Amino acid sequence: MTNKNVIFFDIDGTLLNGEKKLPTSTKESIFKLKELGHEVAIATGRAPFMFEDLRKELEIDTFVSYNGQYVVVKGELVYANPLHIPSLQKLAEKALENNHPVVFMDHEDMRATVPEHNYINESLASLKLDHFPTHDPHYYKGRDLYQSLLFCEEGNEVQYEQEFTDFDFIRWHPYSVDILPKGGSKAIGIEKAAEILGYPEEKRYAFGDGLNDIEMLSTVKNSVAMGNAEDIVKSAAQHITKSVESNGIHHGLKMLGLL
């Protein structure tokens, strides 16, 4: 394994461009990495069911999903960190009083506390998904949930952050915030996966662009921020590549000597 590495890629804004398309150069680079014997994995805030087609297209069976809360290695679940359900129930009840919908998410599906809401539609439509949540305000009962979504305007999440200290809140859209177990992150998920795969720290690489990538980029020894990332994200990384629209994955891999 001396010359082999594991490379974790974020999806939105990293593998996929603003139109949620996979650039040809990125796809070719992924398969070239595998041809050279490297391990290719995904590290995303998305649910597993939100990128199944991408995994099939790129032939990837190792992934860190839900920002590190649900980790699969070689097709097998190796780590799960569910949300604290009693606290989540209280949060959802308060959110309903404030006309802030919540979407509950497990590894297979997602359900909303309200039948319909513009914030849900607009936020999830930005991901170019075919799958939208149906209405089930009690979906939290009797199952493990690894992430939830709170839908509110920027700044309104502060009241929840102050009251619900079991959770971390990470905004990913003007109308939507991820709800995660406190302290959960892609960095922890990557650590779990890389240990099982047998790659030491110096053989681990990560590419990302979002606010939820900051801990990953500041923790993984060989980290790369996309050129389209915000400055605060770039400052967390060891390296900066071009934007996803400018063949940033290919450029970054060449820069690192992986291709």
Catalytic residue among 10, 106, 209, 213: 10
Q: Which of 60, 5, 10, 57 is nearest to 187 (CA)?
A: 10
For 185, the 3-state DSSP assignment is coil
Angle ∠(213,49,158) on CA atoms, nearest 5 = 45
Decide if 10 is catalytic. Answer: yes
Question: How far, in Å, CA of 42 to CA of 3, rounded?
Answer: 20
Q: At what angle do helices 248-255 and 24-35 cross, to 10 degrees?
A: 40
Question: How far, in Å, CA of 178 to CA of 110, rounded?
Answer: 13
| 144 Cβ contact partners less than 8 Å away, ≥ 6 residues apart | 80, 82, 106
Q: Which residues are catalytic?
A: 10
